[in-house]
Structure 1
Amino acid sequence: MNKLVRAVTYLKDVTGLDKLRITGGEPLISPLFDGFLRAVSQLGLQDVSLTTNGQLLERKLPVLLESCVRRLNVSLDSLDAAAFRRIARGGDLAEVLRGIDACLAAGLRIKINMVPLRGLNHEQVMPLLDYCLDRGIELRFIELMRMGHLASDTAAFRQQFYGMPEILSVISERYAYRQADNALDATAQRFEIPGRGYFGIIANESAPFCRTCSRLRLSSSGWLYGCLSSSNRHFLGDLLDAPYEQALPALRQLLQRALEDKQELAFSGDVMVMKIIGG
């Protein structure tokens, strides 16, 4: 854990990093999570956030509050318990919903991430949107990505893909919406439903955003990834044993190589699976 905290510190010093998102896999199941979160919360970052499946949210809420985490993304693909278990391959929907309620009551800001899949949960677009609007939560629809087996199985991808045009069409049947302002390097297009709230769509297929992406991903084993559409990775673990004055110049060179892995225009797909690298 100490090395991982040191890696975040070095990246902060080299890049001016001010936002950190802890993701996975599922970060809350790690026995190192509490200590790591407490440590990075002392690094002077402007924003430390978390992406989780929500199963342990209620249990971990005290350490989140203690470490000044103020916003979360919760992955939730269905409000139907059976469909939830089928898509998540287990878990308890009621426990996730209790965790969300507890976080909201404690004042945390929550976004919910949903990946609509044709034939599996696309009929949940409106139930989840209404659930979020009623609670002041911003729902993020995430288009299916060409990763893992879907990178090469075009037929399976097309069969499951449910994109931004379909999502907006369904929403427009009930709500009038308008485009909302967003940060230049944002991955989501945001929309406002006047008087109700906001939702967003991460439309990596329908409206690619690779050209403005500024994100880097660091694995817990010390590998740096510049792009989800590339299996290239760069090991910075060795730098963490070097003196600070030597490590930082070498890290700058490694970062440059990682940034060169980014796609110029659009996500093209990769055999790497999301659960290995996180969202």
Structure 2
Amino acid sequence: MVDPFGRAIYYLRVSVTDRCDFRCVYCMSEDMSFLPKGDLLTLEELDRLCSTFVARGTRKLRLTGGEPLVRRNILQLFHNLARHLDSGALDELTLTTNGSRLAFFAPELAACGVRRINVSLDSRDPEKFKAITRRGDLAQVLRGIDAAQSAGIDVKINMVALKGVNEGEIVPMISWAHARGMDVTLIEVMPMGAIEPDRLDQYLPLSDVRAEIARHFTLRDLAYRTGGPARYVEVAETGGRLGFITPLTHNFCESCNRVRLTCTGTLYMCLGQNDAADLRAPLRESASDDALNAAIEEAIARKPKGHDFMIDRAHTAPAVPRHMSVTGG
């Protein structure tokens, strides 16, 4: 799959549910209304959709949410998709999780061929963690990270930089994670969905964060890539990697290689645009994949050059109305 700008699209992110057991302040409202369960694609339909993308050249599948591990019987989908790893058609099957259920699922995820995961962790202070997530238990997440590493799964920590909230924890987070052999990726707040805090109050440019980190560590640019949007540096003092996802201060659109599928079968060609394609209708209209393939091809042909994310005093409203949990970030 190649988009109108010559970018090869080989990375599919699949939101298997919009539900989450946390309510992170930058992601969703505290009083969220989630989709009726009857609106969701079945696990068998998600398998068929993912497999169609794999047949079209997708090499990396990431299951997201919401929180993917709250979806009932989700390990069935991991087990089924693992066949593409076994055949060599797929390079990587992975997930992004808040870690709340990882202690239970980690051994079976490893058995399904999951070798690397991202865990969202914005604070290692229990009270601050609970305030950011509105209900999370830090100890439970840390047990999940322990379980994943014990199962042989590489863990990368995703940390959203929040102005006035966790600025002082970024350098300690890097030291802690690198001491445990985990990479860290820092992420700027993205203007998606209406939330109670003002985006401008939350937004912390990673250009400023990097300058502060450089006061403590020696940073060396790396060519290393994981297939996602992060740009990496090596921290000389720890030997670990540190990534920066900067949709606002330095967007990553020129190298975009991904599209996003929701749990209802809607395909978003860009995280920061509203244009989408309905894949549920062609999926259900026939046992043949002809109509589905045609819909995917037409959608890729509409993939835009880049997003419209902006946060400043003139742009505090969300750039897109859907919350981050709908498309998994």
* TM, length-normalised to structure 1: 0.91
The 2-side partners of 1:195 and 1:123 are apart by 19
Q: Deviations over 1:255-277 (max 9, x none)?
A: 335xx243437645322210111
Partner SS state of residue 244, structure 1: coil
Higher relative contact order (CA 8 A, sep 6+): 2
The 1-side partners of 2:108 and 2:226 are apart by 32
Residue 160 and residue 48 in structure 1: after superposition, are their counterparts in 2 closer, same or farther (change >3 A)? Answer: same
Gaps of 5+ in 1: none
Equivalent residue, structure 2, for 1:92: 137
The question of 1:250 aligning with 2:294 is answered yes
Q: Deviations over 1:29-71 (max 9, x none)?
A: 1113111111111123210001000011010012202101010
Equivalent residue, structure 1, for 2:67: 26
Partner SS state of residue 221, structure 1: coil
Higher mean alpha-carbon deviation, 177-186 vs 108-117, is at: 177-186
Does structure 1 retain, via aligned residues, the 8 Å contact 2:269–2:300?
no
Does structure 2 retain, via aligned residues, the 8 Å contact 1:211–1:264?
yes
The 2-side partners of 1:184 and 1:134 are apart by 21
The question of 1:199 aligning with 2:249 is answered no
Residue 245 and residue 79 in structure 1: after superposition, are their counterparts in 2 closer, same or farther (change >3 A)? Answer: closer
Does structure 2 retain, via aligned residues, the 8 Å contact 1:115–1:143?
yes
Does structure 1 retain, via aligned residues, the 8 Å contact 2:273–2:307?
no
Equivalent residue, structure 1, for 2:173: 128
Shift of 1:118: 0.7
Answer 1 or 2: which has greater helix percent: 1
Residue type at the aligned position of 2:184: L
The question of 1:170 aligning with 2:170 is answered no
Does structure 2 retain, via aligned residues, the 8 Å contact 1:184–1:212?
no
Residue 75 and residue 265 in structure 1: after superposition, are their counterparts in 2 closer, same or farther (change >3 A)? Answer: closer
The question of 1:39 aligning with 2:83 is answered no
Equivalent residue, structure 2, for 1:225: 268
Equivalent residue, structure 2, for 1:156: 198
The 2-side partners of 1:139 and 1:184 are apart by 12
* TM, length-normalised to structure 2: 0.78
The 1-side partners of 2:179 and 2:210 are apart by 19
Residue 96 and residue 184 in structure 1: after superposition, are their counterparts in 2 closer, same or farther (change >3 A)? Answer: closer
Percent of aligned positions with the same letter in both sequences?
33
The 1-side partners of 2:243 and 2:137 are apart by 26
The 1-side partners of 2:256 and 2:45 are apart by 27
Q: CA RMSD in A?
A: 2.1
Q: Deviations over 1:230-262 (max 9, x none)?
A: 1222111122232435235423433335xx243
Equivalent residue, structure 2, for 1:274: 324
Q: Deviations over 1:136-159 (max 9, x none)?
A: 111100011121137xx9x93222
Does structure 2 retain, via aligned residues, the 8 Å contact 1:211–1:265?
no
Shift of 1:184: 9.7
The 1-side partners of 2:278 and 2:307 are apart by 26
